[in-house]
A = this chain, B = another copy of it.
């Protein structure tokens, strides 16, 4: 979508409200030949009834066959081409811990890890150290490591995960990962990808040298790896691109982070799906676009827990009447990508999608599932980037193009 094409079409008096309900990793696979997927197996009378009044299809956010990461997949849903709009993992992690990145900041995602006497990584997660230990080690690094002209921030995430932010004039983020992404290897040496990043790469190498000395006597977290060096991008803002006032509701840092990157207002982390829906209700009159993120479908998929994923979908179905009671002009139910329990990972399979609006042209399909969606009018392989134009059109927010 050429964003410039839409702007002149925004209706001045538009007030249609849109809910984008994302069940992370929604798409699945049968675990027995001919059997149902997680979504097909779920008892979900509310979603199925809504399907009969909706248009259906299956989307993909990156070129077909490619499995997207979570950030990229959400950018796709938000209408940003994930191949064009690259976002660094470090930035997502920093925003996800509510760290306000400045224009001179370079962020990276860190993992504490265990290395042997030769420096070979033996555990990329340092035995999943408790979150408190991770926090103590972050403080230790912050206290002991000194880099000239650079302010360091080390923000603990869950367990072995942390975020490194380097703040200083002239920092450039085009630096390679030190994380080799597997055990049995030494950490890589950070390298500049462009000449302008050479000084920053040397600062990273110095940080690693000093940091490894600081951690040398710790156990099991006696080292760390870094990946996804990035600075915050300056992209067109979601609200400007789509002519809406958007609120993001999500329990996990990554999803609040990507929402912040595109400029949405982001709610504090909710403690449960129920609280997420309560947040939606309480803010209904103040916004006109709502991104609501459900994490647990993906978590169970990653764990290979078919029944667990089915159950989360059923729980969401039970919450659906509360959303429908708000009378949204458009309600989209979809995932960001597929996470089939069968594969225990994200996958490339297109993602079932339901778009309800009183002005849609229903497909006559009476259930919400992968195979049913193949016959839907949105298409069996539509571009996730198409969803936002569909949504604002169905919400009555666009004038016609031309005479």
Residues of A within 8 A of B (CB): 1-2, 5-6, 9, 27, 29-30, 33-34, 37, 52-53, 58, 62-72, 82-83, 87, 89, 92, 109, 228, 254, 342-343, 345-350, 359, 361-364, 370-371, 374-382, 386, 388-394, 398-403
Q: Which residues of B contact A378 (CB under 8 A)?
A: 380-381
Quote the shortest CB–CB distance from A179 to chain B (angstroms).
Answer: 12
Contact A71–B403 (Cβ < 8 Å): yes
Q: Which residues of B contact A381 (CB under 8 A)?
A: 377-379, 382
Alpha-carbon distance between A168 and B63 when the two chains are bound, in angstroms: 43
Alpha-carbon distance between A6 and B5 when the two chains are bound, in angstroms: 29
Contact B380–A377 (Cβ < 8 Å): yes
Q: List 12 A-B contacts (CB under 8 A).
A: A9-B66, A34-B362, A65-B388, A67-B399, A89-B402, A228-B403, A346-B400, A348-B398, A349-B361, A374-B375, A377-B381, A379-B380
State the oligomeric state as a number of copies. Answer: 2
Contact B66–A386 (Cβ < 8 Å): no
Quote the shortest CB–CB distance from A180 to chain B (angstroms).
Answer: 12
Alpha-carbon distance between A180 and B129 when the two chains are bound, in angstroms: 65
Contact B393–A348 (Cβ < 8 Å): yes
Q: Chain A at the B interface: mostly helix, strand, loop or mixed?
A: loop
Q: Which residues of B contact A391 (CB under 8 A)?
A: 65
Contact A1–B371 (Cβ < 8 Å): no
Contact A68–B401 (Cβ < 8 Å): yes
Contact B29–A359 (Cβ < 8 Å): yes
Shortest Cβ distance from A90 into B: residue = B403
Quote the shortest CB–CB distance from A49 to chain B (angstroms).
Answer: 11
Given contacts A33-B53, A359-B29, contact A66 B5 (CB under 8 A): yes
Shortest Cβ distance from A87 into B: residue = B402
Quote the shortest CB–CB distance from A401 to chain B (angstroms).
Answer: 5
Q: Which residues of B contact A343 (CB under 8 A)?
A: 359
Residue of A6, A58, A65, A379 ringed by the most chain B CB atoms within 10 A: A65
Contact A377–B403 (Cβ < 8 Å): no
Alpha-carbon distance between A64 and B398 when the two chains are bound, in angstroms: 12
Given contacts A400-B346, A403-B228, contact A386 B72 (CB under 8 A): no
Q: Which residues of B contact A83 (CB under 8 A)?
A: 2, 5
Contact B65–A390 (Cβ < 8 Å): yes
Alpha-carbon distance between A87 and B380 when the two chains are bound, in angstroms: 33
